[in-house]
Amino acid sequence: MSILSSLAARRATLAVAAAVAAATAAGCAAYGPDERLPHRQYDVVQSGLDHATFLYTPAPRDRRFRWPCRLEIYGTGAAVLRTGPSPQVVDSFAQDVTDRSWNSFVEERKEFTPAQMRDVFQVFVDEGIVPSRNVREEGPALPFLRCAGTIGPNKFVRATRNRLLVDAFEDFVETNFSDALRRAGGMQ
């Protein structure tokens, strides 16, 4: 084998190894120095078309969030929280009406101004809700947040346990829906 073909083979091997390493790294969550996942950063423009749905699974024995929560927010200013042990909270298409906890949930609706809701969307964008690339986080550690929606021109689907996003969600819900959380806390 000539030196040139040997160098070509070595370069090809290194190129394949680099591609495998890059593909592996792209699939794993890589937090930056500020603990944010790679995300798109932009200024949110007020729009009635913006919307996001969050499904939050709390940590076991969490005193503030006893049950899973579903939060839907809209650029028009509407925010709807549903929480409780009912399968309807975690599954919009639940059908088992014989489940003992079928009707065990609290639902509360709040209205904000579109400008206030724009600020809420901006907080979530700033904390990393719109991924810049696909990232896969390891393990189903709790609390866990799944979210999907459209903010401005960006559609997103994200499942994360990133503390900054989870904190932004928890802060919004505790600040605006504390009564619903308290009422759901007494459910069995």
Residue 188 pLDDT exceeds 70:
no
- Does one domain contain both 15 and 72? no
The answer to whether 160 and 37 have CB atoms below 8 angstroms apart is yes
What is the pTM (predicted TM-score) of this model? 0.78
| Confidence label for 55 from pLDDT (cuts 50, 70 and 90) | very high
Question: What does each C-alpha distance from 134 to 101, 117, 168 come to in angstroms?
Answer: 36, 26, 21
3-state SS, residue 87: helix
- CA dist 36 and 71 (Å) reads 22
Do 26 and 45 belong to one domain?
no
Which domain covers residue 10, as residue numbers?
A: 1-30
Do 63 and 137 belong together in one domain?
Answer: yes
Q: Which of 86, 83, 78 has the alpha carbon at shortest distance from 104?
A: 86
Residue 167 predicted with pLDDT over 90:
yes
When pLDDT is cut at 50, 70 and 90, the band that residue 130 belongs to is confident
pLDDT at 69: 96
Instruction: Judge whether residue 136 has pLDDT over 80.
Output: no
| Mean pLDDT rounded to a whole number for the chain | 81
Q: Which two tokens stand for residue 51?
A: 């919307």
CB atoms near residue 56 (< 10 Å): 24
- My answer on whether 88 and 116 are in the same domain is yes
Question: Same structural domain for residues 116 and 176?
Answer: yes
Do residue 64 and residue 118 come from a single domain?
Answer: yes
Q: Express each pLDDT in 90-124 by its tens digit.
A: 888 999 899 899 999 999 999 999 999 999 999 99
Residues 8 and 87 in one domain: no
13 pLDDT exceeds 50? no
Same domain, 91 and 118: yes
Instruction: Report the pLDDT value the prediction gives residue 70, as an integer from 0 to 100.
Output: 96
Together in a domain, 15 and 45: no
Tokens found for residue 173: 């819900």
Distant-in-sequence, close-in-space partners of 40: CB < 8 Å, separation ≥ 6: 125, 130, 131, 132, 154
CA distance 116 to 157: 23
Q: Considering the chain, what percentage of its residues have pLDDT values greater than 90? A: 54
Enter the tokens of residue 16: 């394949």
154/94 same-domain check: yes
Same domain, yes or no, for 80 and 153?
Answer: yes
In the chain, which ranges are continuous DSSP H helix? 3-27, 87-90, 114-126, 163-176, 178-185
pLDDT given for residue 147 in this prediction: 93
Confidence at residue 171, expressed as pLDDT on a 0 to 100 scale: 96
pLDDT band, very low/low/confident/very high, at 32 (cuts 50, 70, 90)? low
Could you tell me the CATH number of the domain that includes residue 114? 3.30.1560
Same domain (yes/no): 100, 139: yes
What's the residue count for the chain?
Answer: 188
* Counted domains in the chain: 2
